[in-house]
Amino acid sequence: MIARPMFLRRVLLADALASGATGLLAVAVPLSGLLGLPPGLLRGAGLILLPYAALVAWLAVRGAPPPRWAVWAVVGINACWAVDSLLLLVSGWVAPTGLGIAFVVMQALVVAGFAVLQAMALRATPRQGMLAA
């Protein structure tokens, strides 16, 4: 079992880096035609990911251990993002290309993986190693 608060910080930082990179990509690069996803959806997702990435990075690098509730919130947001991404594909609201489907599925799997790793690390981290409130 992983019982080091440093592992949690590393997983949070990896989440922040991946989210920030994806957010910048969605905002700065015209991917709509390539992915078959609406430009507004991509831009909106990118604009949501950028402040999210900054917040998660701050939790990862700040001097004090992150509050447990804040990390659980990150886990919940990641889980919702992953589920919503897959629901988007089956909803019929968008008609992505094959590459678009692959992109959405892969990022959903990565985000779900972050949620699982963060939850595992949080459960394995002693309460005295983190702020309880």
Buried b (16+ CB within 10 A) or exposed e, 4-24: ebebbbebbebbbebbbebbe
Helix 98-124 and helix 68-91, axial crossing angle in degrees, nearest 10: 160
Contacts within 8 Å (CB) and 24+ apart, 40-47: 41/94, 46/22, 47/23
Q: Can you tell me the distance from the alpha carbon of 21 to that of 53, in angstroms, rounded to the nearest whole number? A: 9
- How many separate domains does the chain show? 1
Bigger pLDDT: 130 vs 84: 84
- Whole domain around residue 115: which residue ranges? 5-129
Mean per-residue pLDDT of the chain = 91
d(CA 7, CA 17): 15
For the entire predicted model, the pTM comes to 0.88
What is the per-residue pLDDT for 130? Answer: 53
Closest by Cα among 92, 90, 125 to 105: 90
Mapped onto helix, strand or coil, the DSSP state of residue 38 is: coil
Note the pLDDT tens digit of each residue in 8-56.
999 999 999 999 999 999 998 899 999 999 999 999 999 999 999 999 9
Q: What is the pLDDT of residue 125?
A: 78
Residues 40, 29, 31: CA angle, nearest 5 degrees: 60
Q: Stretch 100-112: mean pLDDT, rounded?
A: 97
pLDDT class for 2, splitting at 50, 70, 90? Answer: very low
Average pLDDT value for residue range 66-72? 94
pLDDT grade for 3, boundaries at 50, 70 and 90: very low
